Structure 1
Amino acid sequence: MSQLELLIDKLQCGHLKGLKPYESARRLFSGGQDWLNANESPFVGQFSLNTQKLNRYPDCQPKSVLSAYADYAGLTAEQLLVSRGADEGIELLIRAFCTPGRDRVLICPPTYGMYAISAETFNVGVDKAPLKADFSLDLEAMAGYRDKVNLVFICSPNNPTGTQVAGEQIEAALELFADSALVVVDEAYIEFASDTGWAKELVRFPNLVVLRTLSKAFGLAGIRCGFTLAAPAIIQVLLKAIAPYPLPEPVAQIAAQALSPKGLEWMREKVMLLNQLKTELTTQLNDIPAFTPVGDIQANFILVRAEQKQALMDYLVGRGILIRDQSKQVALNNCLRISIGDIEQNARLLAAIHTFYQEQA
Structure 2
Amino acid sequence: MSAFVERLQRQHLATVKPYVSARRSASGGTVWLNANEAPTTPAASTQEQWFRYPDFQNTALNQAYADYAGVTREQILSCRGSDEAIELLIRSFCEPGQDAVMITTPTYGMYAISAATHGAQVVDCPLQAAEDGSLQLATEAMITRCLDRTQAKIKLIFICSPSNPLGNMVKTRALERLLDAVGNEALVILDQAYIEFVDSNHPQFDSAALLARYPQLVVLRTLSKAFGRAGLRCGFAIAAPEIIAVLSKVIAPYPLPSPTISEATHGLSCEAIMVMQQQLQRIAEQRERLIAALQQRAWVKKIWPSTTNFVLVNVADAQSLVQRCQQQGVLIRDQSSQPGLPQCIRISIGSADDITRLLEVLPA
TM-score tier (shorter): 0.7 to 0.9
Deviation of 1:52 after TM superposition, in Å, equals 4.2
Give the one of 329, 333, 340 matched to 1:331: 340
Q: Which moved more, 1:155-164 or 1:198-207?
A: 198-207
SS at match of 1:59: coil
Deviation of 1:50 after TM superposition, in Å, equals 8.3
- Specify the alignment match of 1:128 in structure 2: 124
Give the one of 78, 83, 92 matched to 2:79: 83
In the alignment, structure 1 residue 346 sits paired with structure 2 residue 342: no
Closer/same/farther in 2, CA of residues 151 and 294 from structure 1, 3 Å limit = farther
SS at match of 1:210: strand
The 2-side partners of 1:143 and 1:204 are apart by: 19
Moved over 3 A (4+): 49-53
- Specify the alignment match of 2:140 in structure 1: 140
Q: Structure 2 counterpart of 1:276, which letter?
A: E
Percentage identity across aligned positions?
46
- Specify the alignment match of 1:275 in structure 2: 284
Give the one of 163, 188, 202 matched to 2:211: 202
Q: Structure 1 counterpart of 2:143, which letter?
A: A
In the alignment, structure 1 residue 67 sits paired with structure 2 residue 63: yes
The 1-side partners of 2:78 and 2:141 are apart by: 33
Give the one of 182, 197, 212 matched to 1:192: 197
SS at match of 1:144: helix
Aligned residue pair count: 307
SS at match of 1:233: helix
Over the residues paired in the alignment, what is the CA RMSD in angstroms?
A: 1.4
Closer/same/farther in 2, CA of residues 50 and 167 from structure 1, 3 Å limit = farther
In the alignment, structure 1 residue 296 sits paired with structure 2 residue 300: no
In the alignment, structure 1 residue 116 sits paired with structure 2 residue 125: no
- Specify the alignment match of 1:20 in structure 2: none
Deviation of 1:295 after TM superposition, in Å, equals 2.9
The 2-side partners of 1:69 and 1:293 are apart by: 37
Q: Which moved more, 1:198-207 or 1:325-334?
A: 198-207
The 1-side partners of 2:88 and 2:223 are apart by: 18
The 2-side partners of 1:324 and 1:221 are apart by: 18
**Does the Cα contact within 8 Å between 1:187 and 1:212 map onto a contact in 2?**
yes
Deviation per residue, 1:286-335 (Å, 9 max, x gap): 12121133432111100001112211111111111111110011110000
Higher relative contact order (CA 8 A, sep 6+): 1
SS at match of 1:178: helix
Deviation of 1:203 after TM superposition, in Å, equals 1.5
In the alignment, structure 1 residue 310 sits paired with structure 2 residue 319: yes
TM normalised by structure 2 equals: 0.82
The 2-side partners of 1:292 and 1:82 are apart by: 41
**Does the Cα contact within 8 Å between 1:190 and 1:197 map onto a contact in 2?**
no
State which structure, 1 or 2, has the greater radius of gyration over its C-alpha atoms. 2
The 2-side partners of 1:293 and 1:246 are apart by: 42
Structure 2 stretches lacking a partner, 5+ long? 1-44, 148-152
SS at match of 2:247: helix
Deviation per residue, 1:63-87 (Å, 9 max, x gap): 1110100110001000110000000
Deviation of 1:51 after TM superposition, in Å, equals 5.0
- Specify the alignment match of 1:26 in structure 2: none
SS at match of 1:211: strand
- Specify the alignment match of 1:174 in structure 2: 179
- Specify the alignment match of 2:271 in structure 1: 262
In the alignment, structure 1 residue 158 sits paired with structure 2 residue 154: no
- Specify the alignment match of 1:97 in structure 2: 93
The 2-side partners of 1:100 and 1:294 are apart by: 40
SS at match of 2:302: strand
**Does the Cα contact within 8 Å between 2:219 and 2:237 map onto a contact in 1?**
yes
Structure 1 stretches lacking a partner, 5+ long? 1-48
- Specify the alignment match of 1:41 in structure 2: none
Query: Superposition pairs for residues 211-226 of structure 1, below 5 Å?
Result: 211-226=220-235
